[in-house]
Amino acid sequence: MAEITIDIPVSTPYRVHVGTRLLEAAGSIARNAVPRAHKVAIVTDTNVGPLYAHIVRDGLEEAGFDVATHVVTAGEEHKTLATYGSILESLAAEELDRSDAVVALGGGVVGDMAGFAAATYMRGIAYIQMPTTLLAMVDSSVGGKCAVDLSCGKNLAGAFWQPAAVIADVGCLGTLTPERLADGCGEVVKHGAIADRELFELLEKTPFTFDLLVHDLSLAAAIIARNIEIKRDVVAADEREGGIRKILNFGHSIGHAIEARSGYTRGHGSCVAAGMVAMARGSRRAGWNASDLEDDLAERIDALCRAHGLDTGCPYGTDELMEAALHDKKRQGDAIDLVIPHSIGAVSIERCEFEQLRAIIELGLAAQAGDAA
């Protein structure tokens, strides 16, 4: 098992535990993380609950916790204020107090909603992230962002609320569908693209697939741990996304627009993959620091995404994507900060007018159409 300490200046340090058979150890890890808690509420969903909730419940009860369970309907389309409200009502009905804790058992949707509920219930109680998907392990469970979607856009209501611990049991990945595992790889590729050439090149040689989970689980765990370290370093430098943390948004402005246009039926990782490729191609064609770009940068990102089973295509036009981008929470008036790639492992943050974003999207889509032809 790997233990990674997340030490953010304005928050209490916590540990991310990465390994196997950690669900069974959840009780002892939770007791160390929230020693004053008497009650714990497991928040899970209709997909994950039947698989793992009983294991986690047994471990928590053995550690002396009084355990309640609240199950929400699985799916991004249920990441709403109504579902968030139902979690709050459940915490109140179970009479959790300020010393108690929430356990978020599931993927990114569960983690976001349970974290937001913990951040706002009684003005904030502790919570523990127990991610069961690759996407949640390497991305949403670490860093303290928690939110729900509004009708106008993704993650528009939320808070920064750091967990007391993160428990990432790599064995849970074995129950994912190939599509869900691939979806998590969008963020894995992104981390290599923005911050770690060595990780990117490792993934080019050894893609993160079910074959890797079967034949080299230790390498799979090491790749997950490296992704967490990358996010740790960025978040520790900028918890509230006032500067360097924005590099984690590479591909997200276009990706979130694709996700919104799909009605959230297309996976987040696939949307980010398409967004990264469109941004790399479009920013080069638009002349954003084109002189220092690697010649094959977009092609390498595209190829690596596809090697992980991610669709990098975009079926929507520029006008459709721009309409969705206008509701991006990163918007500042008529401008938005974009992450521009220069080489594998090196990016910059550039303030971009919306008309410039339009040009980048249009040129990126045109380049994609040319490649397809």
Q: Which residues are catalytic?
A: 123, 145, 187, 231, 241, 245, 249, 252, 256, 268
d(CA 98, CA 175): 34
Buried b (16+ CB within 10 A) or exposed e, 225-262: bbbbbbbbebbbeebebeeebbbbbbbbbbbbbbbbbb
Pick from 67, 130, 140, 56: nearest CA to 100? 67
- Residue 313 near residue 305, CB atoms below 8 Å: no
The DSSP bridge pattern shows strands 101-106 and 126-131 to be parallel
* Residue 242 tokens, joined: 């006032």
Residue 259 φ then ψ, to 5°: -60, -45
Residue 361 φ then ψ, to 5°: -60, -45
Pick from 141, 129, 114: nearest CA to 30? 129
